[in-house]
Structure 1
Amino acid sequence: MLRAIAVAVLAIGIILVALVEAPIPAVALTAVTGVTILLLLWPRSSRDSVAPSAPEPPMADARAPIEAISDPLLIVAGSRVEQANAAARKLFGAHVVGEDVRVAIRHPAATDRLAARQATADQEPIELAGIGGRDNRWQMHVADLAGDRALVHLVDRSEGHAAERMRVDFVANASHELRTPLAAILGYVETLDDDAAAEAGTRKRFLRIIRDEAWRMQRLVEDLMSLSRIEAEKFRAPETAVDLAGLAKEVHATIRDAADPRSCDVAIAIDEGLPLVAGDRAQLSQLLHNLVGNAMKYGRPGTPVTIRASRGPGAMVRLSVEDQGDGIAPEHLPRLTERFYRVAPSRSRSLGGTGLGLAIVKHIVERHRGRLDIRSTPGEGTIVNALLPIAPLSSNRNATVTGPA
């Protein structure tokens, strides 16, 4: 009876693994539970069919079930790896079967856990760092089987660990960015308070610095709130049809009317007959303002900043902003969209940058199910391309959005 239940649980787990494109922990757990029950029952059925003195047969029947599991699984007999599924062979190497498990996993915590598995029942899973890569994090579960065997199940927690590290870094960076202008404001206020008889020119200069730092804090808070709103909406793709050509012209006119001396260098080139895109008009306007603002700050004075809108590959529209500035070294390009990442921190702060502009752009493009491409040549300039899906082919995009990646 129990063997039939085990086979049923195992079958359900394998079917779920086959049907779900990216197996969730509950699905994997169902399959692993079936494997574990089956392995627990195997020696019993073996003893029913052979003489008591016969040696315990190898667990060949377990190979097919564990191969269906996407997580790394090892069956350990004594201290030797008896079986390993494809995920485990990929992680530890094709030669892992037959190895001493301490050599295979090469982690002190794993060695201690396996050595103590029979001494203490129902032990909690342990965390392993660095297996398969410096930033990888795994959770190791060990289930005792009959005899001297054990089932080792590894669950990849790297993505969650990376997300937590990003959260911690974000809080630390945001705190630092807010503390810097606040310290300047407090310092100048205290100076003015201590020196009430300061000259009018000095007082005016101090007050101007206080105002500028207060504006810097305001921009930072606004960008933080904007980023938070965009992230909260990222699992719901916008579906309103937006005239990207008309929006680009409006943003161009707004920038040209501004008091910035660089505004007269902003040009625009729009292809005729561009299709509508499925988008959030306010967010696309913010995206364009951020890109043009960066190009005006870092482009060389007197050189053009060009806004372009054209047909992209496939069912996409390309929105790009190009400058003729100093360019960006290749090693910095992969990190440009990280929060608070700056190529030249002191220059960025002096120009009023918050370090969040391109992070906001990236999240807007991701919410629109588009692609962001940044290309730069040192000494020549930078071009940022945002590829956005056209509206007619984007109406059902939310059907594929199921939750966090």
Structure 2
Amino acid sequence: MDRWPTLRRVVLHAATVASPGLLVLLLLLVLGVIAPGVAALALAVVLLATAVLVWPYVLGVDSLQVAVDRLERHGDSPGPDTGPSESLRRVWDAVRRMHHEKEQGRRAVEQRLQAEEAILTALPDPLLLIDPARRVVRANAAAAELFGGSPVGRDLAAAIRHPAVLAAADAVLAGEASRAVDFAVSTPVARELVARIMRLEHAAGMPRDGVLEDVAALLSLHDVTAIKRAERMRADFVANASHELRTPLSTLVGFVETLQGPARDDEEARDRFLAIMHEQAHRMARLVEDLLSLSRIEQDEHTPPSGRVDLGEIVHAAVETMEMKARSRGSSIDLVATAGLPLVQADADQIAQVLQNLIDNAIKYGRRGTPVAITLQRSPRGTLAGGRPGIALAVADQGEGIPREHLSRLTERFYRVDPARSRAMGGTGLGLAIVKHIVARHRGRLDIASEPGQGSRFTIHLPVAEPPPSSN
């Protein structure tokens, strides 16, 4: 410790403490009560005695200051290195306790900020914090991914160019509590979003370039693409189902009215009309049955089947069932199956339904007199998820084929490449949707390949059944 500054402080403190006595001596000197020599000696004695008394306290205060500085810089300190008085020791204990409480509070704030940062970063929805000037001062990882980079430091318009969103942000910054806007973006992929902007009152500042800026509003973006698509699919489904039922029902009502009126006594017309009514009633029955079947399959889709099935037996049974229909169109069903294939994990009834739908389509849409080819073999390695081994069942026709732009939508409900031809052939528009959901329940895969003028090929891959548990 530097002694000279300490000595100066001792002298100054001694003079301050002894000032009343020094004033008394000066007054006695002026009044002539004491001689100058005696006054000087008395002055020196008073100063020396005061300095001796003050010296330990000054040293204690200096040592305390050093200890406090060390505590502030390093977070810990052994305390004053001289023997201060009990009062200074209590002061040091209070300082150390206050410093400890401050450090605990600082660490708690840091942990809370880190937790909030982790939550903000992990949120799947993009979030932006904007200041009163509409600049983005904070963005989470989801926002950076959506906009192809962090928009921090730029005007909101640089990230979102939709006029309605910008107008809503301006309105909230001007004083409104909140607003919500539906809008769409086309890059990097087409999405439908809902922007919710909420005003933040007295929000804590966020650092930008070392300067704290006020956060005025929170903008969150919610991706509703899947919800909107599901709503459209539901509306389309209801509309299509209503249309598919209304058409044959209107036909039935019309013929009933005709039979009750002009054709009441016309036996030939009555027989012809009854045949048409019978066909339309069967069409509605098939549609209702397919709707119920699809509903049941969707309910069980999350639960994979546990049965062990010989796919070859199911295929042979399906071929025998459909051979008569194939012969009626001058066609045949050719089956090529690899011998010794393992069992598959499947629901036998549902796989039979899949085969019936695929073979029925191949017969209806194949050219008259051309065969329907069915092949049964092992799936190529890596076809199924997780590298599971599988069995491939393919049904191919030699029909007109399907244009490429229709392939991705073939498994949608009521989707038809040629609606008039499909209805004329008795199709409900649900067959391939049923196939897709059954294959999904089996944790399998459906592949569709087609070339216009050459025909179509539908292949399902089903996972091989796990070996049965040992009886031991």
Superposition TM-score, scaled by structure 2 size: 0.67
Shift in alpha-carbon separation, 1:82–1:205, aligned structure 2, 3 A: same
**Helix, strand or coil at the partner of 2:185:** coil
Report 1:362-377 matches (<5 A). 362-377=436-451
Report 1:170-185 matches (<5 A). 170-185=237-252
Which of 74, 82, 86 is 2:128 aligned to? Answer: 74
Which of 148, 151, 168 is 1:113 aligned to? Answer: 168
What is residue 403 of structure 2 aligned with on the other side?
329
Shift in alpha-carbon separation, 1:201–1:247, aligned structure 2, 3 A: same
1:84 Cα deviation from its structure 2 partner: 2.8
Which of 319, 322, 328 is 1:255 aligned to? Answer: 322
1:8 Cα deviation from its structure 2 partner: 4.6
1:5 Cα deviation from its structure 2 partner: 7.4
Instruction: Report if the CA contact (8 A) 1:270-1:310 is conserved.
Output: yes
Report 1:189-268 matches (<5 A). 189-257=256-324, 261-262=328-329, 265-268=332-335
Amino acid corresponding to residue 387 of structure 1 in structure 2: H
1:233 Cα deviation from its structure 2 partner: 0.8
Shift in alpha-carbon separation, 1:91–1:192, aligned structure 2, 3 A: same
RMSD of Structure 2 on Structure 1 (CA): 2.6
What is residue 91 of structure 1 aligned with on the other side?
146
State the distance in 2 between where 1:127 and 1:394 align: 56
What is residue 11 of structure 1 aligned with on the other side?
115
1:114 Cα deviation from its structure 2 partner: 1.8
Amino acid corresponding to residue 81 of structure 1 in structure 2: V
1:96 Cα deviation from its structure 2 partner: 3.1
**Helix, strand or coil at the partner of 1:303:** coil
Deviations 1:17-70 (A, max 9, x none): xxxxxxxxxxxxxx24xxxxxxxxxxxxxxxxxxxxxxxxxxxxxxxxx3x443
Deviations 1:195-238 (A, max 9, x none): 14453221111111111111000000000111111111111111
What is residue 403 of structure 1 aligned with on the other side?
none
1:260 Cα deviation from its structure 2 partner: 6.0
Identity %: 47
What is residue 347 of structure 2 aligned with on the other side?
280
Range moving further from structure 2, 329-338 or 134-143 = 134-143
Shift in alpha-carbon separation, 1:195–1:5, aligned structure 2, 3 A: farther
1:253 Cα deviation from its structure 2 partner: 1.3
1:85 Cα deviation from its structure 2 partner: 3.3
Which of 117, 121, 130 is 2:184 aligned to? Answer: 130
Deviations 1:96-126 (A, max 9, x none): 33332134212233223322335244x36x2
Amino acid corresponding to residue 253 of structure 2 in structure 1: L
Amino acid corresponding to residue 369 of structure 1 in structure 2: R
Instruction: Report if the CA contact (8 A) 2:304-2:441 is conserved.
Output: yes
Instruction: Report if the CA contact (8 A) 2:128-2:219 is conserved.
Output: yes
State the distance in 2 between where 1:73 and 1:378 align: 48
State the distance in 2 between where 1:6 and 1:296 align: 71
Paired residues in the alignment total 343
State the distance in 2 between where 1:380 and 1:258 align: 22
State the distance in 2 between where 1:171 and 1:6 align: 54
Range moving further from structure 2, 79-88 or 302-311 = 79-88
What is residue 102 of structure 2 aligned with on the other side?
none
**Helix, strand or coil at the partner of 1:346:** helix
1:93 Cα deviation from its structure 2 partner: 3.6
Amino acid corresponding to residue 440 of structure 2 in structure 1: E
1:261 Cα deviation from its structure 2 partner: 0.6
Determine if the alignment matches structure 1 residue 186 to structure 2 residue 240.
no
Amino acid corresponding to residue 400 of structure 2 in structure 1: D
State the distance in 2 between where 1:393 and 1:12 align: 49
What is residue 152 of structure 1 aligned with on the other side?
219
State the distance in 2 between where 1:3 and 1:151 align: 27
Amino acid corresponding to residue 446 of structure 2 in structure 1: L
State the distance in 2 between where 1:186 and 1:278 align: 47
Amino acid corresponding to residue 83 of structure 1 in structure 2: R
Superposition TM-score, scaled by structure 1 size: 0.78
> Between Structure 1 and Structure 2, whose CA radius of gyration is higher?
2
Gap regions ≥5 residues in structure 2: 1-104, 205-213, 382-388
* More RCO (CA 8 Å, sep 6+): 1
Instruction: Report if the CA contact (8 A) 1:91-1:132 is conserved.
Output: no
State the distance in 2 between where 1:386 and 1:313 align: 12
State the distance in 1 between where 2:135 and 2:398 align: 62
Instruction: Report if the CA contact (8 A) 2:137-2:215 is conserved.
Output: no
What is residue 357 of structure 1 aligned with on the other side?
431
Which of 359, 378, 392 is 2:452 aligned to? Answer: 378
Deviations 1:228-273 (A, max 9, x none): 1111111111121111111101111122255861385112111111
Range moving further from structure 2, 142-151 or 350-359 = 142-151
State the distance in 1 between where 2:358 and 2:156 align: 53
State the distance in 1 between where 2:250 and 2:468 align: 48
Shift in alpha-carbon separation, 1:365–1:247, aligned structure 2, 3 A: same
Instruction: Report if the CA contact (8 A) 1:239-1:394 is conserved.
Output: no
Deviations 1:122-153 (A, max 9, x none): x36x2422124685222333352343433322
**Helix, strand or coil at the partner of 1:392:** coil
1:291 Cα deviation from its structure 2 partner: 0.1
Deviations 1:327-380 (A, max 9, x none): 111111111111111111111100000011111111111111111101011111
